[in-house]
């Protein structure tokens, strides 16, 4: 999939897309989630009869879109991508975050606006230089607070699925995620596992909700650093791309079904993921051990230099 078909007015770059079900697509993007603009993917599906995009025709109605912020339990702002979103969202976002109700902390201690592993939404609102009316604030685990990684892994997956549940409840059709717990919160957990959990969280939500009326149609994972981009593509290919064996089996099954039901309506699209690589996918790079540079240090360096994450 060429980057030229994505009419971004920002610095986001498409790296790959996957059809994770009949109704839902997952996109891997490079850049800052604060740059996300809705509607780009809806001009790509061509209608066989008229040669026009059926999705594009629906742009007459406003698209409800949200970005998912990597927040802390207080939900009032922080560093990294949270700081970038807070800065761009302006006073209206700050007021809406302040207005989020305080909840009992499941772990004890002071009340929180969002417990770890959960998500809350602000919006709809006019949020300054953000291009979406909703911001969902999801709290991933701080891995250094656990010795056994099973619990924070489950909380991280819950943060992704809960974010999508919140989006669904608000009628949001496009959701773009910052990578949760992928920076300094990752602690001793590997980046590969954190990003694999992100994809499994999306898969879990889609599997549980794809049989009903579709609300969410486009989900994006936005990777900031070059290492995050590289690793996210690797784990997405592993978890979402169908194997050659499964593709062969699907082809044989489809041929058999077409032969026996030639007069029936066209069969539904396969629920196996379809991988569509972008022309500008990042090339392989040295890993952290050989360079001494991690995604976290890239983010910290960017913050020190005044760049938005």
Catalytic positions are 82
| CA-to-CA separations, 307 to 27, 132, 225, 300, in angstroms, rounded | 24, 21, 12, 10
Neighbouring CB atoms inside 10 A of 288's CB total 13
* Residues comprising the chain, all counted: 309
Gap between the Cα atoms of 23 and 45, Å rounded: 12
Helical spans, DSSP H, in 26-128: 54-57, 80-98
DSSP lists the bridge partners of residue 174 as 65, 218
Cβ 307 vs Cβ 297: under 8 Å: no
Gap between the Cα atoms of 235 and 231, Å rounded: 6
Neighbouring CB atoms inside 10 A of 9's CB total 9
């Amino acid at each position: 999939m060429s980057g030229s078909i994505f009419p971004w007015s920002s610095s986001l770059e498409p790296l790959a897309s996957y059809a994770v079900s009949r109704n839902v697509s997952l996109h891997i993007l490079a850049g800052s989630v604060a740059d996300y603009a809705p509607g780009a993917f809806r001009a790509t599906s061509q209608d066989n009869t008229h040669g026009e995009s059926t999705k594009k025709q629906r742009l007459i109605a406003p698209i409800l879109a949200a970005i998912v912020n990597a927040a802390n339990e207080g939900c009032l702002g922080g560093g990294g991508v949270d700081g970038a979103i807070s800065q761009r969202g302006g006073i209206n976002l700050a007021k809406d975050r302040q207005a989020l109700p305080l909840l009992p902390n499941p772990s004890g201690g002071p009340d929180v606006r969002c417990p770890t592993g959960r998500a809350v939404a602000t919006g709809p609102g006019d949020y300054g230089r953000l291009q979406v009316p909703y911001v969902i604030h999801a709290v991933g685990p701080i891995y250094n607070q656990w010795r056994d990684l099973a619990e924070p892994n489950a909380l991280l997956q819950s943060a992704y699925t809960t974010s999508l549940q919140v989006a669904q409840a608000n009628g949001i059709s496009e959701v773009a995620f910052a990578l949760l717990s992928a920076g300094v919160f990752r602690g001793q957990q590997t980046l590969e596992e954190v990003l694999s959990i992100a994809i499994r969280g999306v898969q879990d939500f889609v599997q549980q909700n794809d049989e009903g009326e579709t609300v969410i149609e486009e989900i994006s994972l936005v990777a900031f650093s070059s290492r995050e981009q590289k690793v996210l593509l690797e784990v997405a290919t592993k978890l979402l791309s169908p194997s050659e064996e499964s593709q062969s089996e699907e082809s044989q099954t489809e041929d058999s079904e077409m032969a026996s039901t030639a007069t029936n309506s066209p069969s539904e699209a396969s629920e196996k993921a379809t991988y569509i690589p972008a022309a500008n996918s990042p090339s392989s790079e040295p890993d952290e051990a050989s360079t001494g540079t991690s995604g976290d240090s890239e983010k910290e360096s960017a913050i020190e230099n005044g760049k938005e994450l």
